[in-house]
A and B are shown apart, each in its own frame.
Chain A
Amino acid sequence: MAEKPQTSANFSSLPVILLLGFFSLPLLVMYAYLFIDTISDTEVGSLTPSEFTLRHWSFLWETKTGKPNIWLVTLNTFIFASCITGVILTVSSMAGYVLSRLNVPARGFFLAGVMVLHAFPSVTLIIAIFIVLQWIGLYNSLIGVILVKAAVELPLGIWLMKGFYDTVPWEIEMAGTIDGASRFTVWRRLVLPQIKPAMMALGLFSFLTGWSEFIMPQVLAPGAKVQVLSVYLASLIIDDNNFDFGTFKAVGVFYVVPVLILYVFFQKHLMNIYGGGSKG
């Protein structure tokens, strides 16, 4: 499936590349400038950096007073994003199968419900969720915010998975049951592998939404022990007393690096999402 880009004979791609390059230039300059800014000092009013410094990155090795340790925060973010991914993948791969294939009572109701839930802006629920979490004692804990965030993301995941299961031919399942496999084995060994590209993509998207989520951790788990990177980053600008723009930018770059790495590694799988179905 790794197709090489093809240059078609009657069409030169050079002008397109130039045009795209030209319009992307401002973006590239912005990113480059962001990075350069974090490792240099610039005099007030000037555009060109005047000296090299690692001062802005010092948050990596020294914990600022009143702020949690950056590595703890990073670990929290990883746990948060990974757990969300795990929950979403597990639940939507199963629920999607059930909605796609099994003749469950009120299937139509569930399908419509999932759709409505997906369209429902979750922010409006946040006060209610806050109260519920406090009431059951999960306020200011990672588990609480993981469960809430995963639940909010689930409708989309379930709906997507259902769509992918719909493309898997029935005959494969019929053959499986006739070969003596239980329905669970059929799902696990025969059907699930067919939608692996979709699982990859959903997993990656879930991880990224978890990684970038701000509102829920901010409201439901703001404590120093359970803080995630987005909340940490926000606390830097909210802090009026020792406002440090350089550090803010450095943390921003630090925050975005894992995302870039993920994209590089999973790009192929992301492209594969359209090539799913029953191909070998």
Chain B
Amino acid sequence: MRILLDKFSKSFGSTKIIEDMDLEVGSGEMLALLGPSGCGKSTTLFAVCGIHRPTAGRILFGDRDVTHLPSQERNVGVVFQSYALYPHMTVEENIGFPLMVKRIASADIKKQVADIAALVHIGDLLGRRPAQLSGGQQQRVALARALIRRPDVLLLDEPLANLDAKLRLEMRSEIRRLQKETGITAILVTHDQVEAMSMCDRIAIMKSGEIVQIATPSEMYKDPRTSFVASFLGNPPISFLKGKVQQGAFVLGENGLRLPLAAVSGIPDGTPLSLGVRPEHFGTTAGIPVEGKVVFAETQGRENLYDVVLPDGSVLRSIQPVRDDVKPGDSVRWHLDSASTFVFAEDGRRL
């Protein structure tokens, strides 16, 4: 079912958290709300599930206006960051609770709980209490409880934040599998870009209550609209060079490195700019040679990561296939693929 936020605003008292947000999530789509802490992701999510009343604007599920519907009647499933399992109930009672309040016959509940528990692979834990489960198991219980009512919409508020790295990887594909299997419309709140990129059809990047850009993960990676978006996606992160325009080229520092760039043409001389260079675009086989000194090297198994300081003091990051010939302290002359760089105006706009 499609979710539509139409000019949605939310303030707490006099502090405006979100203003005039427009957001559409297509039916069966999984959308990531990605942004730094405190930008209003949870607030948006809580408005969708009915815990927060919007200050202004409308929320639609399909064509149904649910803005003033209490959360009991919205038929949404939510997985909270803390899981919010009911500590005094067994796993079975936890998962069955949404059906119990609907006064469904207990034999039916038992059967449906068993089905959904099998789906999330916790069939043998039904008799336990939440305190007797590991984080990953609790997470699955929370997921099962959210799914058992066959909700129109599934909302996940940083569901993986409390898990260790390996489990996180596992649950990432698990959640995606369930979402696809059930064909449910889902919103995933996260501040982990890897999670957003690997799990979702589209990403909405938020910054202080505003959506900066919505796009598919690959589009957003290749074509960020602002420097904020560029810095948020990618691991290891993008590095920025501060410079000025000089005769149709980007010039670093005083008479430093000169990069002729198409994006710069037509901009008056002396305009301050910043250039975003992803680590995979520095240290390539072709491009403009750049001299610098390696100050940091780290191997990540298949690849090596280098920090290179340029003569003017700015730092470029480079990721390359493993090689043993470069150590910290070495001077290098590597190529920069200038065609793949991003040029940003001083206010962060992409040019």
Contact = CB atoms under 8 A, between A and B. Distances in A.
A277 to B, nearest CB: 9
Contacts, number: 66
Interface in B74-109: 74, 76-78, 80, 82, 84-88, 97-98, 101-102
A278 to B, nearest CB: 5
A177 B53 CA distance: 14
A18 to B, nearest CB: 39
Given A181-B72, A181-B101, 7 more contacts: A169-B84, A174-B78, A176-B86, A177-B70, A179-B101, A179-B149, A180-B149
B87 A194 contact: yes
Given A172-B86, A174-B51, A278-B87, A180 B80 contact: no
A178 B77 contact: yes
B163 to A, nearest CB: 17
A193 interface: yes
A194 B87 CA distance: 8
Interface in A222-265: none
A178 B87 contact: no
B71 interface: yes
B50 A280 contact: no
Q: Is the interface on chain A under 10, 10 to 19, 20 to 34, or 35 or more residues? A: 20 to 34
Given A180-B98, A181-B101, A172 B84 contact: yes
Contact of A174 (B80, B86, B87, B97): B80
A179 B80 contact: no
Contacts of B279: none
B132 interface: yes
A176 B86 CA distance: 9
A54 to B, nearest CB: 49
Contact of B76 (A178, A182, A193, A196): A178
A175 B77 CA distance: 9
A178 B71 CA distance: 5
Contacts of A179: 97-98, 101, 145, 149
Given A174-B51, A174-B78, A279-B131, A180 B84 contact: no
Nearest to A192: B88
A180 B82 contact: no
Interface of A: 169, 171-172, 174-182, 185, 189-190, 193-194, 196, 278-280
B84 A174 contact: yes
Given A181-B72, A279-B131, A175 B88 contact: no
A180 to B, nearest CB: 5
Contacts of A177: 50-51, 70-72
Contacts of B264: none
Interface centre among B49, B74, B86, B132 (most CB of A within 10 A): B86
A183 to B, nearest CB: 9
Question: Considering the complex of A and B, which 7 residue pairs feature the smallest CB-CB distances, nearest first?
Answer: A280-B131, A171-B84, A179-B98, A175-B84, A193-B88, A280-B129, A181-B101
24 contacts: A172-B84, A174-B51, A174-B78, A174-B80, A175-B80, A175-B84, A175-B85, A176-B97, A177-B50, A177-B71, A178-B71, A178-B74, A178-B77, A178-B78, A179-B98, A179-B145, A180-B101, A180-B102, A180-B149, A185-B101, A190-B86, A194-B87, A280-B87, A280-B132
B283 interface: no
Contact of A280 (B46, B74, B88): B88
A71 B78 CA distance: 58
B40 interface: no
Interface in B26-76: 46, 49-51, 70-72, 74, 76
Nearest to A193: B88
A171 B87 contact: no
Contacts of A196: 88
A185 B46 CA distance: 21
Contacts of B72: 177-178, 180-182
A178 B130 contact: no
Nearest to B51: A174
B158 to A, nearest CB: 12
Contacts of B101: 179-182, 185
A104 to B, nearest CB: 17
Given A279-B131, A280-B130, A178 B88 contact: no
Interface string B128-154: 011110000000000001000100000
A178 B78 CA distance: 7
